[in-house]
Amino acid sequence: MNLKNKIVIITGAGSGIGAATAKLFGTHGATIIVSDIHLENAKKTVSEIRTVGGKAEAMETDVTHFKAVEDLIAETVAKHGHLDVMVNNAGIGGKKQLKTAEHSHEDWHNVIAVNQTGVFYCMQVALKQMTDQGFGNIVNVASLAGLKASGNNLSYSASKYAVVGMTKSAALEYGRKKIRINAVCPGFTRSALLDQLLTSSPTIEDKLKRMIPMGRFGEAGEIAEAICWLASDNSKFITGQTITLDGGTSL
């Protein structure tokens, strides 16, 4: 994959898919701005990238605050001159798995703020910069829950459907500006979100694996491979697409 010397921002890169993606970009010679709401987690990812010879720096960012997103991108451009790739990965799940009528308003507002509004803020600021510089690439991390029904999970599902819609709409708008915008839609993937789900019932892990034709959960590194490919010049005729990585669950 051709990613050498690209300037890349990844939100939520202190753990899980974001951290795996940052490390993979690092092995391909990119410079990664590791953004996370938890600065210590971001610093840990940076340390791991630098240990193997990669280039990275940490920035604390709460994507639910527009000014924080503006600062993240402005500081990156001030230091590096431009922004090649924006990976919008920061995301959370609800605290409670409840049907729609019982769905917590707290979960609704929190999940929508991070997963939907946060992605919108990051896309909006990144697109202004990329339009000015004349090129760019955005990869959004959506979910299988943004492509098919997901019970007891309304706010998460709504937010991820929104990410898919925003990806396609913006890709249509900016295709002639040399800006590509795509999304990945992971199924059940080992991460903090999956761990949270697995603790809800002692039998849920076996139930979930029975739903997956490949019989296992995805690994963060497998999702990272798709993100890096979409961000690379190897996929330069692809925009407005969603790549589903779910071990066949959607079948």
pLDDT in tens, 88-116: 999 999 998 899 999 999 999 999 999 99
Asked whether the predicted pLDDT for residue 197 surpasses 90, the reply is no
Q: Does residue 209 fall inside a structural domain? A: no
Is residue 201 included in any domain, yes or no? no
Domain of residue 74, residue span: 7-189+219-244
CATH number at residue 75: 3.40.50.720
Predicted pLDDT at 193: 77
- pLDDT over 80 (residue 20): yes
Instruction: State the amino acid at position 60 in one-letter form.
Output: E
Task: For residues 243 and 184, give the distance between their C-alpha atoms in angstroms, rounded to a whole number.
Answer: 5
Q: Examine residue 152 and state whether it is found in any structural domain, yes or no.
A: yes
Residues paired with residue 245 on neighbouring β-strands, in sequence order: 186
- How many domains, in total, are found in the chain? 1
Catalytic residue annotation: 156
Q: Per the domain annotation, does 214 fall within a domain?
A: no
Averaged pLDDT, 228-235: 97
206 within a domain of the structure (yes/no): no
Residue 204 belongs to a domain = no
Q: How far is CA 246 from CA 104, 139, 187, 194, 217, in A?
A: 28, 18, 4, 13, 8
Report yes or no on 212 lying in a domain.
Answer: no
Question: Does any domain span residue 124?
Answer: yes
